[in-house]
């Protein structure tokens, strides 16, 4: 089963229930070589499971001393597809990240750090 690392709304019980029809059980971990950023959502809140107008996001910076805290979840392939649909925003890309625990997990990261509307946190 795939591992999914979440640092934002996918950790919220209401979002998990809306997307996966269950609450996920996860473990604390850290994503290595990434930094936090904020991205404005251009979709209506009605089309997302979260009502936030901005998403916390991450961007790769390839620095081994840079870490983002979050949770790692074991999910099914169909749940990963549901997460793909939820995270289908311009500039987002699902990629494999290395966690401090040594595990590799899918993570949604912002692929264009020079885009308008992105700011480092």
In a domain, 101, yes or no: yes
Share of the chain above pLDDT 70, in %: 78
**Total count of residues recorded for the chain:** 121
CATH (domain of 20): 3.10.490.10
CA neighbor of 72 nearest in space, from 96, 103, 32, 49? 103
In a domain, 45, yes or no: yes
Confidence at residue 105, expressed as pLDDT on a 0 to 100 scale? 98
User: DSSP alpha helices (H): ranges in 30-104?
Assistant: 77-86
In a domain, 118, yes or no: no
Angle at 30 between CA 29 and CA 32, to 5 degrees: 145
pTM for the whole structure: 0.81
User: DSSP alpha helices (H): ranges in 1-121?
Assistant: 13-20, 77-86
pLDDT by residue (tens digit) across 27-47? 999 999 999 987 766 654 444
Structural domain count, the chain: 1
The range of the structural domain enclosing residue 31 comes to 3-113
In a domain, 77, yes or no: yes
Confidence at residue 85, expressed as pLDDT on a 0 to 100 scale? 93
pLDDT by residue (tens digit) across 70-110? 999 999 999 999 999 998 876 788 999 999 999 999 999 98
In a domain, 120, yes or no: no
In a domain, 86, yes or no: yes
Confidence at residue 111, expressed as pLDDT on a 0 to 100 scale? 74
């Amino acid at each position: 089963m795939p591992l999914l690392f979440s640092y934002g709304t996918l950790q919220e019980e209401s979002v998990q229930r809306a997307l996966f029809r269950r609450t996920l059980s996860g473990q604390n971990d850290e994503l290595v070589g990434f930094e936090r950023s904020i991205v404005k959502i251009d979709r209506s809140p009605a089309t997302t499971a979260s009502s936030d107008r901005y998403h916390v996001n991450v961007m790769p910076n390839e620095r081994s001393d840079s870490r983002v805290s979050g949770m790692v979840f074991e999910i099914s392939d169909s749940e990963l597809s549901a997460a793909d649909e939820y995270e289908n925003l311009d500039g987002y890309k699902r990629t494999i990240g290395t966690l401090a625990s040594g595990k590799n997990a899918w993570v949604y990261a912002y692929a264009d750090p020079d885009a308008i509307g992105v700011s480092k946190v």
